[in-house]
């Protein structure tokens, strides 16, 4: 799940900040919790719901990017998140055979 957020001075051409979350669980369901009234540019919260037992570890990965750096737009950011999720689900495995 990811979104783009304007920096604190969007009219000053400061670009967009991208925020993302990867939860490697089959029961993870993304959602939006809207605010009763928008507050400035904020209209709600994004969240992920999962069933979890007390004491069970909960693993998630989050990150961010900036449109003035490597990730230029939201479509590119979505590709980064998809590739990250794939890398987490199918990690690189290396075997060494001694001869």
- Cα–Cα distance, 46 to 31 (Å, whole number): 6
Q: Render each residue's pLDDT in the chain as its tens digit; 99 residues.
A: 898 887 776 667 788 899 999 999 999 999 999 999 988 878 888 899 999 999 999 999 999 999 989 999 999 999 999 999 999 999 999 999 998
Give the number of other Cβ atoms within 10 Å of residue 22's Cβ. Answer: 21
Give the number of other Cβ atoms within 10 Å of residue 41's Cβ. Answer: 8
Beta strands in 1-99 (DSSP E): 2-6, 16-22, 29-39, 42-49, 61-66
Please tell me the total number of residues recorded for the chain in this structure.
99
Output the six-digit token pair for 80: 């980064």
């Amino acid at each position: 799940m990811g979104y783009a957020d304007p920096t604190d001075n969007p009219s000053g051409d400061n670009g967009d900040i991208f925020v993302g979350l990867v939860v490697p669980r089959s029961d993870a369901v993304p959602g939006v919790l809207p605010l009763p009234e928008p507050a400035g540019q904020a209209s709600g919260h994004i969240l992920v719901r999962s069933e979890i037992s007390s004491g069970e570890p909960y693993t998630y990965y989050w990150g961010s990017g900036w449109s003035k750096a490597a990730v230029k737009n939201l479509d590119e950011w979505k590709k980064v998140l998809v590739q990250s999720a794939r890398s987490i689900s199918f990690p690189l495995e290396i075997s060494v055979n001694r001869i």
